[in-house]
Chains A and B, each alone.
Chain A
């Protein structure tokens, strides 16, 4: 069964600083990998996903993530944080060998951006 670990329930950065949100997965076969963002009192919005091909994936709002099989990681980065990036971020996986089914989510990381 797949599982996801997000290191750090809260990450604080200054505006303009690098954003790094960590995600590690556990799966016998590299899964499909996703990052979602949730703004206050809203649903989840897909930031980016890795299914196949290039391991560096670019998403919306300047975010990107790199799939590293050797490290079983899919960390999310953004070179320069904006105040509007303050939200909760969820990493998620779905099985590949049995076909795409449900998403298994990490516990989330709340990103705080200070002026």
Chain B
């Protein structure tokens, strides 16, 4: 696709429910990232995929958070038993390697509200 696509763009869920957030990276991008942006906070790294494997998942805040990537393309971030502190914007990004260096492109984000 033309850009990184994320869905849903907005999600309101009840505390304790599970949610899935989807990311469709730019075609051909080998690396995929998930970040979290909480109100008034900076951007917090969650996990990084190279192909289908995740060499760095050090940012996942708890075992309620998991992510997978299939076919070297689409990725899903799953949050189980959501808590109010999970409310944030979840940003996905993907990377291409071009002649001028490495550039990461971000999607518009999935806004998650836990009530």
Contact = CB atoms under 8 A, between A and B. Distances in A.
Interface in A18-43: 32, 34, 36, 42-43
B107 A49 contact: no
A101 B106 contact: no
Contacts of A52: 101
Interface in B65-115: 91, 93, 95, 97, 100-109
A44 B106 contact: yes
A92 to B, nearest CB: 8
A107 interface: yes
A63 interface: no
Interface string A30-69: 0010101000001111100101100000000000000000
In this complex, the interface size class of chain A, counting residues with CB under 8 Å from chain B, is 20 to 34
A49 B42 contact: no
B106 A43 contact: yes
Given A43-B91, A43-B109, A103 B42 contact: no
B45 A32 contact: no
> Interface centre among A34, A43, A90, A100, by most B CB within 10 Å?
A43
B18 interface: no
B42 A51 contact: no
Contacts of B100: 51
Interface string A95-113: 0000011111111100000
> Interface centre among B41, B42, B55, B105, by most A CB within 10 Å?
B42
Given A34-B104, A46-B104, A49-B101, 18 more contacts: A36-B106, A43-B106, A43-B108, A44-B91, A44-B93, A45-B106, A52-B101, A90-B42, A92-B43, A101-B48, A101-B56, A102-B45, A102-B48, A103-B33, A103-B43, A105-B35, A105-B43, A106-B42
Interface of A: 32, 34, 36, 42-46, 49, 51-52, 90, 92, 94, 100-108
Interface of B: 4, 33, 35, 41-43, 45, 48, 55-56, 91, 93, 95, 97, 100-109
